[in-house]
A and B are shown apart, each in its own frame.
Chain A
Amino acid sequence: MATTTLHPAAATYKSGLYEWLTTTDHKKIGIMYVVNSFIFFFIGGLLALGVRAELAQPGLQFLTDEHLYNQVFTMHATVMIFLFIIPMLAGFGNYIVPLQIGAPDMAFPRINAMSLWMLPLAGVILLSGFLLGGTAAAGWTSYPPLSEDRILASTGPGQDLWITALILIGTSSILGSINFLVTIFKMRAPGMTLFRMPIMVWTVLVTSVLVMMATPVITSALIMLFIDRNLGGHFFDPSTGGNAVLYQNVFWFYSHPAVYVMVLPAMGMISEILPTFSRKPLFGYKAFVFATAGIGALGFSVWAHHMFTTGAVFLPFFSLMTFLIAVPTGVKMFNWIFTLVRGQLTFSTPLLFALGFLSMFLIGGINGAFSASVPVDYALHDTYWVVAHLHYVLFGGSAFGVFAGLYYWFPKMTGRMLDETLGKIQFVLMFIGFNLTFFPMHVLGLQGMPRRIADYASGAGWNDLNLAATVGGFLIAASMLPFLWNVFVSLRSGKIAGDDPWEGNTLEWATSSPPPPYNFDRLPEIRSERPVFDQRHGHGAGGHK
């Protein structure tokens, strides 16, 4: 912490545009993943504000063209899921995983660069629909027959652009996951056994298995939809011998595991941050690893809980599996809390966001159990309750985790600290805005407000809660201003971080900030899952329990 100048390695990050565009360095690629994902986060956020502006009060005021409204919420979800959360977490994985296992880079650096550059391309293809007569408008799930090419459904190029973009993103994810798996299996430093890997690495490992096994399945569904739309195929259109529910089965076979893809790495980040700021190891490391693997395995057997109301799935099995997934999730929750218990907590911004994750993900997890109960799901499915639930998981969970991770690793990435005061302002605004937006949606859903409607009757009793949600949405948007200002200012004149500003546990804190292109000049001895802690305090310091 005594350092007053940036590490000389920082110079390589000031290199020219061409260098960034052609780099195969996992750290630069990771940073570009993060930047790219933030760009799409803001695009997706603006689209969300469009939806909230329209729903603020009854009547059509803002997106008066309802077809455009459908495009806007479809793009909001597609962008947030496929171009923000998934790539954002892949980006952190890209940056962190090789550092945490003591490797000089990913196993396939050039494939890594290719995975990255497919994403902005896919984003441009996806959103170009706005200029080409309309984007996809059938929801991010794009259920046929609504997504088929026919009148009153999805004519025009938007749906095909959506399919193309998703196949590209899927391919990027698959290549990325293989890269992660080979890196983790083959490139760990000497002494870094599987059960000494940081939890972040474990979560990326399980996530990668999910991506590798599940993404090709949605690719097949997308291709079938494309064939239906463009080549006269008959997969999903019942009027020509197809099966509409088939698409849902194939789609959710991917998209439910995708939920864990979207949250497991965030859990991994939280599991790095909580021990650091409580000065204790993660409580129940092995249980946590098995819980992560358990979530991954169960994740493949719960997809049809999105289809309880179709009347076409075997309800008891999927209900049971969905309930069971609460068990490993609960194990993790208690592991996190008992990491705090008897610790010495320092309330830096990363910890605040991590605690935000804990308390919000708790709600998202518990209200998920409601939908596991089939009869209760009959009441809640496709209402705003579900919108609330998924945002508590993906925003309250994943997005809070992303900000926790960003505040935590920004010093490593740039060599400079983010400003704590601005960070805390952002946290408070975002936390309040988030709850103001999404908590009322539980009530709206219980009262019967369906998803994906542009308007509602003013007599339905939904006015106040919708207005509250809209105000909350704009508050979330406002919370991004201190964040952007923080990044801008800190990049120029933030406090110099030094190698290890937080007294971290894992190997990334053993090298300079930012690390040199080859990552490590020398590695500490790896005798536990906390090699840098061992180096600082001595192996076994503080007593072993």
Chain B
Amino acid sequence: MTADSHALTTAEHSPIAGLAHDARGGISNPILGMLLFITSEVMFFAGLFGAYFSARAQNTPWPPEEFAHTLNPLSLILVATVILVLSSVTCQMAVNAIRRDDRAGFLRNMSVTVILGIAFLLMQAYDYLLLADEGLTLNAGSFGTTYYTLTGFHGAHVFGGVLMLSVILYRGMAGQFSSRHHDAVEAASLYWHFVDVVWIVLFSVLYLL
């Protein structure tokens, strides 16, 4: 393919870009794509939660007696929860900063978000070690299997989110975002909020309910 035709394969650079967009404008492609992706992720977690509630309905008592006090909400996990919620706040502050064209504020808040995300992951890993010491492992009956599957896949999503935000941070440091051009930031922050909300639901169901 020739150089000019190559440029035509993405809508943004096409000379007929006018054709490519809804006349009504509206939400941008990356953000709509991310919202739809989050919808599918919601369904993924719905499948896992379905399995969890099925196991919970079938096995009484829940938690089993040997783990009756293992999952204590007032422990390290509460700190981790607060950290993740805070990271969502700083993430939004970063988005608000770039909307105002405040690049320094954007970079500062995004860095804090990434660090908080990493801190959450480390705390979760440490918490896994503590739980394993108490005998709660992946193969400790339905209780252990569902606990680790739900929190593990949430952790994997946090890890994915940290990677995504790191890329955003890197691109931000390279000066790629401005108040007019920061769809990727908005999309990544949506994903990060989603991960945060999943954790709040998870925490409520696993530790409080």
Contacts and interface: CB of A to CB of B under 8 A. Distances in A.
Q: Decide whether A and B are members of one complex.
A: yes
17 contacts: A104-B9, A104-B14, A105-B9, A178-B36, A190-B19, A213-B43, A217-B43, A232-B139, A233-B139, A233-B149, A234-B141, A234-B142, A235-B146, A241-B58, A517-B9, A518-B5, A520-B16
B94 to A, nearest CB: 24
A359 interface: no
Closest 7 CB pairs of A and B: A220-B47, A232-B139, A216-B44, A518-B8, A216-B43, A233-B145, A217-B47
Contact of A109 (B9, B16, B23, B54): B9
A531 to B, nearest CB: 13
A233 B138 contact: yes
Contact of B29 (A182, A212, A227): A182
B1 to A, nearest CB: 6
Interface string A204-240: 0000000011111111110110011001111100001
Nearest to A215: B40
Q: Is the interface of B mostly helix, strand, loop or mixed?
A: helix
B127 interface: no
B153 interface: yes
Interface string A159-191: 000000000000000100111011001111110
B59 interface: yes
A341 interface: no
A352 B40 CA distance: 38
Interface of A: 12, 15, 19, 23-25, 102-105, 107-109, 174, 177-179, 181-182, 185-190, 212-221, 223-224, 227-228, 231-235, 240-243, 246, 249-250, 253, 516-518, 520, 523
Given A107-B11, A213-B40, A241-B59, A185 B47 contact: no
Given A518-B8, A518-B16, A224 B33 contact: no
A23 B5 CA distance: 11
A70 B1 CA distance: 46
Given A25-B9, A104-B11, A187-B20, A246 B51 contact: yes
Given A12-B1, A232-B138, 8 more contacts: A25-B1, A182-B32, A182-B36, A212-B36, A221-B47, A250-B47, A253-B47, A520-B19
Instruction: Give the most central of A179, A182, A246: most B CB within 10 Å.
Output: A182
* Max chain A C-beta neighbours (<10 A), residue from B26, B36, B37, B149: B36
Nearest to B19: A189
Which one of A19, A109, A220 has the highest number of Cβ atoms from chain B below 10 Å of its Cβ?
A: A220
Contacts of A24: 9-10
B138 A217 contact: no
Contact of A186 (B18, B21, B55): B21
Given A105-B10, A182-B33, A19 B1 contact: yes
Interface in B91-148: 138-139, 141-142, 144-146
B39 interface: yes
A250 B50 contact: yes
A517 B9 CA distance: 7
B17 to A, nearest CB: 8
B167 to A, nearest CB: 15
B142 A217 contact: no
A187 B18 CA distance: 10
B48 interface: yes
B50 A108 contact: no
- Residue of B20, B22, B50, B55 contacting most chain A CB atoms (<10 Å): B20
